[in-house]
Structure 1
Amino acid sequence: MTTEPARRRPVPGAIPARAGVGLKPAHGAAILGTHPDVGFFEVHAENYMGAGGPPHRLLEAVRERYPLSVHGVGLSIGGAGPLDRSHLARLRAVVERYRPGLVSEHLAWSTHAGGYLNDLLPVPLTEATLARVAGHVDEVQDALGRRILVENPSSYLAFDESTIPETEFLGRLVEGTGCALLLDVNNVAVSAANLGYDPHGYLDAFPIGHAGEIHLAGYDEEPEADGGRLLIDAHGSAVRPDVWPLLSHALALAGPLPVLVEWDNDVPDWPVLHAEAMAADAVLAACARQPLRAGAGHG
């Protein structure tokens, strides 16, 4: 197991407490041509696991001017089986090549019997799952030689076998591995609506002192036969109105943090995405002028 000092060693290109956006090839010309005022860019690691070509040329040019965060979606750290060592080696190559300020993954599973699923699925929150996920996080951090951030999931149903509240599970994962957390407030909105709990109460219980980044996104909504609503973590629209107050609530607890606007499907023109980032920057600025709330789950 890697020692704590090695996990905590400084990395170049620290991410500022500003709003960033996901880097999309369609926006490359606008970004390189105008050098917009954006705090940072984030990329999905799996899109850069090839050796070269246009994706790397764009990322190299952007990396020269902006801090970079790498967000993985394929490690399946919540999976029942062992981590894919080849995939982990490819992730390490991306991280070593671009030296991002942050590296993150999901509390989820996405593989089965050697195949990759096109979704990030939640896990039952049990002692056995905690031990398995902690072992996987240790393995990733050992391979990368640095701390990673683990993101809270979006949930569509509750597991009968779950015995640990999600916020407690995440706090214990931090204690056991030395990892940090990525707080996705859109996932909080989705899970709270689907499972019937108060999203603000969730944030109050979240181990916010260990959060290193916040994500925002848009969700889809599907009506149900009984008149209820099912929210889907879709990343294909602007941030929903009920998610912005959750960002303000989280920042009031945590203080300024990097905030990433995710828009991965039906990607809009650059000015639309940039406007979402500017709106997030405005929330950050407003929260920076207010005192932190006391007495929440600072871990």
Structure 2
Amino acid sequence: MPSPSCQGSWSGLPNRAGVGLKAEHFDEILDREPDIGFFEVHAENYMGAGGAPHAALREIRDRYPLSLHGVGLSIGGPGRLDEDHLARLARLVDLYQPEMFSEHLAWSSHGDAYLNDLLPLPYTKATLARVIDHVDQVQERLGRRMLLENPATVIVFPESLIPETEFLGEVARATGCGLLLDVNNVVVSATNHGFRPESYLARLPVAHVAEIHLAGHATETLPTGARLAIDTHDRPVGDGVWALYFDTIRRIGPCPTLIEWDNDVPPWRVLAAEAALAEAVMARASVGLAA
């Protein structure tokens, strides 16, 4: 059994389960102070000035570790990063001093147009050079390491000559960034492209992983009989994702793990139960691992 290699310790997040912070749960969290490892927020939701969301986040930040998760930097976009967006992000990081910042291996803008989606990239040498440059720019501007998250995809570009796992590893080695392993995204992509999720995990350079995401996804059967998985974040974590998460912890050891539930947000007790289940799986998978 290999020694545990999760890099979460440099992030400052505990090797526990956290949840995405939602406005629906502000009052309950502040009143009860539940035993949760950490909270994560989408950075773009807090780029406005002041107001009730910031007041609640400041109180929660005083009591819990915090992770910021970006959805709008367009790390893989064809042009330069938006300097105004990066400046707003830097101000937010300076204000809350989160334990971690992460973004997606995706693009979401074209020129001045911003798309409400995280779109896939062709994995080419030119794309690799661009992503490396953008990650370097973000880390230099923020003055800290960031994590890059693997995407959930429904298409593969014929131009792609570099396997996704190799692409992520090259970015991490060139920039010093860490990786955010979204286990749900692996299962979604594996379903859509017909590969075994375990094979993806075996090829991923897991020594760079510093955080894990878990979420629920929907599946449907196409007229051709093929199965399509959709990254919905609107339901409990599925059995296949839990199984791959167990294998991941067996491989890398305990690691900060986030439950993502962004749509059809449930009552707090349901979200907290998912986090508790993640901690139970993490503990069970960690039995016998080297310290």
Q: TM-score range by the shorter chain?
A: over 0.9
Tell me the equivalent position of 2:142: 144
CA distance in 1, matches of 2:92, 2:234: 26
Specify which of 38, 42, 45 is matched with residue 44 of structure 1: 42
1:270 counterpart = 2:233: no
Q: What amino acid is aligned across from residue 34 of structure 1 in structure 2?
A: R
Asked whether the 8 Å contact 1:190–1:231 carries over to 2, the reply is yes
Tell me the equivalent position of 1:3: none
Q: What amino acid is aligned across from residue 258 of structure 1 in structure 2?
A: P
Tell me the equivalent position of 2:63: 65
Give the SS at the match of 1:243: helix
CA distance in 2, matches of 1:34, 1:229: 42
Tell me the equivalent position of 1:297: none
CA distance in 2, matches of 1:165, 1:288: 29
TM-score, normalisation: structure 1? 0.92
TM superposition shift of 1:291:
2.3
Deviation readout 1:5-54 (Å, 9 max, x if unpaired) = xxxxx98x821000000000000111111110100000000000011001
Give the SS at the match of 1:159: coil
Specify which of 173, 179, 203 is matched with residue 201 of structure 2: 203
CA distance in 1, matches of 2:286, 2:64: 22
Map 1:16-31 → 2, pairs under 5 A: 16-31=14-29
Tell me the equivalent position of 2:282: 284
Percent identity between the two aligned chains: 58
TM superposition shift of 1:118:
1.0
CA distance in 2, matches of 1:44, 1:220: 22
In the alignment, structure 2 segments of 5+ residues that lack a partner are 1-8
Comparing both chains, which one has the higher relative contact order based on Cα–Cα distances under 8 Å and sequence gaps of 6 or more? Answer: 2
Give the SS at the match of 2:181: strand
Map 1:133-282 → 2, pairs under 5 A: 133-282=131-280
Deviation readout 1:73-111 (Å, 9 max, x if unpaired) = 000000011100000000101111000111000000001
TM superposition shift of 1:219:
0.6
CA distance in 2, matches of 1:287, 1:221: 27
User: What RMSD over aligned residues (CA atoms) do the two structures have, in Å?
Assistant: 1.2
In the alignment, structure 1 segments of 5+ residues that lack a partner are 1-9, 293-299
Tell me the equivalent position of 1:4: none
State the number of aligned residues: 282
Tell me the equivalent position of 2:6: none
TM superposition shift of 1:112:
1.4
CA distance in 2, matches of 1:136, 1:32: 37
TM-score, normalisation: structure 2? 0.95
Map 1:52-91 → 2, pairs under 5 A: 52-91=50-89
Tell me the equivalent position of 1:7: none
CA distance in 2, matches of 1:129, 1:254: 28
CA distance in 2, matches of 1:269, 1:288: 29
CA distance in 2, matches of 1:226, 1:248: 32
Asked whether the 8 Å contact 1:252–1:290 carries over to 2, the reply is no
Deviation readout 1:166-216 (Å, 9 max, x if unpaired) = 111111111111110000000000000001101001001111110000000
Runs of 4+ in 1 over 4 A off after TM superposition: none
CA distance in 1, matches of 2:221, 2:19: 30
Q: What amino acid is aligned across from residue 28 of structure 2 in structure 1?
A: A
CA distance in 2, matches of 1:248, 1:96: 35
Tell me the equivalent position of 1:104: 102
CA distance in 2, matches of 1:291, 1:274: 26
